[in-house]
Amino acid sequence: MRAMHDKYGPVIRLSRTVLSVADKDMLKQVLVTLDLRKGTVYDNTQFGRANMFNMTDRTEHRHTRRVISPAFSIRYLAGLEPLLESVIDDMAEKVEGDICAAEAKGEDKAVIDLWHLTQAVALDAMGECAFGDTFGMIKNGSHPLPKLLTEGVRRGSIFFTNGFLGKLVKMSGIKVQDEYILSFMQDVIRKRLNASGSRKDILQILLDAHNSDKESERLDEGSIIGETMLFLFAGAETTSNSAAFALIALLTCPEKFDRLREEVDTLEYNDNGHFSYESLKSAAYLNAVINETLRLRPVTAAGVERIAEEDFLLGGKYHIPKGTTILANMYVAHMDPEYFDEPEAFKPERWLEGYEPAPALDAFHPFSAGSRNCIGKNFALQEIRLELATLVKKFDFEAIPESMKDAEDIRHFITLTIWKDSFKAKVSRRK
Q: Are strands 325-328 and 18-21 parallel, antiparallel or unpaired?
A: parallel
Residue type, 203: L
**Residues 115-142 pLDDT 10s:** 999 989 998 998 888 777 777 889 887 6
Q: What is the dihedral of CA 215, 221, 225, 231, to 10 degrees?
A: 40
Torsion angle, alpha carbons of 25, 28, 34, 39, to 10: 110
At 158 the pLDDT is 56
How far is 218 from 215, CA to CA, in rounded Å? 5
Determine contact, residues 229/181, Cβ cutoff 8 Å: yes
Residue 274 near residue 85, CB atoms below 8 Å: yes
| Predicted local distance difference test score (pLDDT) of residue 186 | 79
Q: Is the pTM of this model over 0.85?
A: yes
Q: pLDDT per residue over 207-224, tens digit each?
A: 888 877 787 777 887 788
What local confidence, expressed as pLDDT, does residue 1 receive? 38
The candidate with the shortest Cα–Cα distance to 203, out of 120, 56, 83, is 83
What pLDDT is stored for residue 3 in this prediction? 41
Which pLDDT does position 2 carry in this prediction? 41
In whole angstroms, give the CA distance from residue 136 to residue 142. 8
Give the whole-angstrom CA distance, residue 116 versus residue 422.
7
Give residue 7's pLDDT: 44
Give the integer Cα–Cα distance in Å for 157 and 268. 42
Q: What is residue 425's three-state secondary structure?
A: strand
Neighbours of 339 (CB within 10 A): 21
What burial letters (b/e) apply to 219-247, b meaning 16+ CB within 10 Å? beeebbbbbbbbbbbbbbbbbbbbbbbbb
- CA 154 vs. chain centroid, Å, equals 15
Write down all domains in the chain, each with its CATH number in brackets: 34-299+366-429 (1.10.630.10)
Residue numbering of the annotated binding site: 374
Residues 6+ apart with CB under 8 A from 173: none
Question: 415 vs 117, 128, 192, 308, 370, CA distance in Å?
Answer: 18, 24, 31, 25, 20
Task: Give the burial class of 132: count Cβ atoms within 10 A of its Cβ; 0-12 exposed, 13-18 middle, 19 or more buried.
Answer: buried
How high is the pLDDT of residue 4?
42
Main-chain phi, psi angles of 220, to 5 degrees = -85, 175
Please state, in angstroms and rounded to a whole number, the distance separating the CA atoms of residues 138 and 216.
39
Cα 317 to chain centroid, rounded: 34
Average pLDDT per consecutive 10 residues, the chain (431 residues; last block may be shorter) = 47 72 95 92 67 84 88 84 92 96 96 94 87 79 68 58 55 59 78 76 83 78 79 79 96 97 94 89 97 94 90 93 92 95 97 96 94 90 96 97 94 82 95 85
Binding residues for heme: 374
